Every structure is written in C-alpha cells, then in structure tokens.
Amino acid sequence: MFSGTARLLKKAQRRLWMKYALRGVGGSDNHSRLDLAYSLEDPWNMESQLEQARFEATNRIIEQAFGRVGSLLEIGCGEGHQTSYLARVSDQQFGIDVSAQAVERARLRLPAAEFAAADLFQQPWGEERHRFDLVTACEVLYYLSDPAATIERMRHLGRNGLVTFFAPACGRIGPHLDRVPGLHKDWIYHGGTSWLIGWWKDA
C-alpha cells in the first residue's frame, strides 16, 4: 500500500515539475528550460514500460532497416536511457544533449559511450559528410524552432537517419520529414499511445 502511494506521489511530483519547467519549450530551442527539467532525475519517466516499449520498437526498426550499425549519433540523448538500448544495435555510441546535467548522468550510465553537452550544430566529432553511420532524433524535433534544418543536418552527418515523435506532432513535423527522399514511415503503438517513426538511407 505504502509503495503504491509513494509511486503516485512521485508521479504527481514529476508532472507538476515538468509542467513548470517546460513552459515555453515547444518549438523554441529553449535550452535553459530543458536543462531546468533535469534538476529532477529522470524527468521524462524514461524507465516506464511505455518508454521502454518505444525503445524496443525503435531497435527493431533499426535492425530491420540497417542491420548492425557501426557509429551512431543520438540527438537529445538525455540521461542515456535510450542510449543503453541503442548500444545493443550499434558498435559506437555518441550522444548530445543541451542539458549538461543530463549528459553527466548519461556518462555515468554508459561509460563506454561518448557524450557532449551541445546541440547538433556544435557536436564535437567532425563535420565531414556521413561522419556517422546512423543519426537518430527520438522525441526531439518538436522542441526545435527549425526542424527542417535539423533534418538536413542529420542527412549531412549521417549515412542514415531515423526520427520518432509523438503522434499529435505530425501536423507540425510531418511536412518537413516528408521532404526527405526515400523516406520510410511506420507507427509504434503501446497501449493508447502512438508515435510516428521515419527513417531513410542517404548512402
């Protein structure tokens, strides 16, 4: 009984905090507010069954579409929860996030991976075309003011690309994604939640 009550209180605390921390974040590149969210550990509840189902479904698509991946750059790596899943389908993991707090936790979670507190246009691992075998942006694009520029940057840095986003964001993000040549799309479902997943090959 007490453990159930504690879980409910923790859930309520997280929701209240995120409602405050994420004010004005959508579509705005508001890095300081995103970093503020990480004042609370695991603010997005990435250890939930819902998110882990999304991670597993994303891995299945990666394996089907690309096979085993060599180098993988993850945009918006957060505390490394999804990185730990992506490590199962790739040899080298590189992660960036605008939150220095999140990146520090990601480094503790996955010491073998490389992380940087930076955005996609400042990542420190080289500017050459197709520097990475795969670039991912999962649950990230709707926080950015220019999703089209981000997708183009992904196409420059990665031989292949993959994005996921919550279904209600399709109206804003979908048209930018649809401009990618050779785009493939599918849906991820868990309970009553759905995400669009899109992927492409530029090589």
- Tracing tokens 């707090």 back to the chain, one arrives at 101
The ranges assigned to domains in the chain are 2-37, 50-201
Q: How does strand 90-97 pair with strand 114-117?
A: parallel
> Which of 107, 75, 114 has the alpha carbon at shortest distance from 92?
114
pLDDT digits over 156-182, tens only? 999 999 999 999 999 999 999 999 999
Question: How far is 54 from 82, CA to CA, in rounded Å?
Answer: 9
Please state whether the predicted TM-score (pTM) of the whole model is above 0.85: yes
Give the C-alpha separation, 136 to 160, whole Å: 9
Q: What CATH class does 50-201 carry?
A: alpha beta
Token output for 140: 């990230």
77-103 pLDDT, tens digit per residue, is 999 999 999 999 999 999 999 999 999
